[in-house]
A = this chain, B = another copy of it.
Amino acid sequence: MSSIEKRKHKQITIKHIAREAGFSFSTVAKALRNDPVVRLDTRQKILDAARKLNYYPNLMAKTLRSRKSKTIGIILNDLTNPLYYETIEEIEKKLKKSGYTMILSDSNFDLSIERENLITMLSKNADGIIFSPVSSSSDNMEIIFTNGINTVFIDAKPDNDRINYVYIDHQMASFLATEYLIDNGHKDILLFNGPKYLSSSDEFLKGYRKALEKNNIEMDESLLLWGDISIEKSYNKFLDLYHDKDSIPFSAVICLSDLMAIGIYKAARELGLHIPENLSVIGYDNIFVSEFLNPPLTTIHAPKKRVGLKAVEILLSRIENENGGYTKIELKPRLFVRESVSRFSK
């Protein structure tokens, strides 16, 4: 294939416009930015020529020159988790309104993939990153600090002063859930937590402990179950609990995620357990379907849209006025009572 063939779709540049309109290319550059130093009628001619040639600017060249790419990197950990849908949509809308684009990538809870993702964002000159880290204490954090790229953490709050984050108070979430169950007469409450390496699991456990303490209930360590944020895995893990047992030593379950609650629903159906008569369940996140489950899931609502909204606001403000301090926002979850919890009395 000849080298002419290869570049058959050569891009229209300001030079082409210059030739077409009969001006030098630097005048064209100014005209395209509507710079008032260019006379109105020549500006008009140039814009006409641009339209005629279907010109669009080469953002790579622009970025290379200006060091602003108008793109934001989003790094998440599980793109199939509906938890993120609303956040992502909100981010996309907000960014577009301000003329930004987003590069989306998934680390799959894997530190080395996360590392690659981070480097990619740097390589592509992202102006900023919205970042849900695998762990808030990994080496990957260094990449962000040494390169000084503007970033907003979501789902984590690293203990570093020079950082922005939008955090949902997971501790409060489990606290609310636990107290609600206690108020309804439950004492033996299983905490179906996320994986150990997640800082949210940590926080979730703390809130649970706190609520038990406050109500003078001693925590039974056997009622702590570590799982994964996945319907299938939760389903399996929950079934396993029942092997060789005639009765269960708890009357209620709190899940780190609505997805895990859905897994329990499925297991319960197979085990012939009725929710909430035989087992009460509380979830966390309030994903869009929780309301439509059978029975509708009582859950702790996480303000997902606000996370996206705030993250973008903070990021853009830091990008646009370089000075300015660091912003730390802590959003509060709320209990949504539906029908998966029953009053318990022995």
* A residues lining the B interface (CB < 8 Å): 1, 6-9, 54, 56-61, 63-64, 67, 69, 71, 79-80, 82, 85-86, 88-89, 92-93, 96, 101-106, 113, 116, 119-120, 122-125, 146-149, 231, 262, 265-266, 288-289, 291-295, 322-323
CB-based contact B124/A60 at 8 Å: yes
Report A294 CB to chain B, min CB distance, Å: 3
A-B contact pairs, 10 of them (CB 8 A): A9-B147, A58-B64, A59-B125, A71-B103, A79-B88, A80-B86, A92-B106, A96-B106, A102-B104, A103-B103
Query: A289 to chain B: which residues have CB within 8 Å?
Result: 262, 289, 292-293
| A46 CB, min distance to chain B CBs, angstroms | 19
List B contacts of A56 (CB < 8 A). Answer: 119, 122-123
Which 3 A-B residue pairs are closest in the complex by CB-CB distance? Answer: A294-B294, A79-B89, A9-B148
On whether the beta carbons of A80 and B71 are closer than 8 Å, the reply is no
Q: Knowing A79-B92, A82-B82, A85-B80, say if A231 contacts B288 (CB, 8 Å).
A: yes
Minimum C-beta distance from A116 to chain B (A):
8
Of chain B, the residue at the smallest CB distance from A122 is B56
- The residue among A69, A88, A266 with the most chain B CB atoms within 10 A of its own CB is A88
The answer to whether residues A69 and B60 also contact, given A106-B89, A293-B293, A293-B294 and a CB cut-off of 8 A, is yes
A57 to B124, CA, bound (A): 9
Contact A64 B67 (CB under 8 A): no
- Across-interface contacts of A101 in B (CB, < 8 A): 103, 105, 120, 124
A59, B294: Cβ atoms closer than 8 Å: no
Of A105, A146, A266, chain B has the most CB atoms within 10 Å of the CB of: A105
Residues of B within 8 A of A120 (CB): 101
Q: For residue A123, which residues in chain B have a CB less than 8 angstroms away from its CB?
A: 56-59
Q: A79-B89, A96-B106, A96-B113 are in contact. List 11 more A-B contacts (CB 8 A).
A: A8-B148, A9-B149, A57-B123, A59-B125, A60-B61, A60-B63, A71-B103, A79-B92, A82-B288, A231-B288, A289-B289
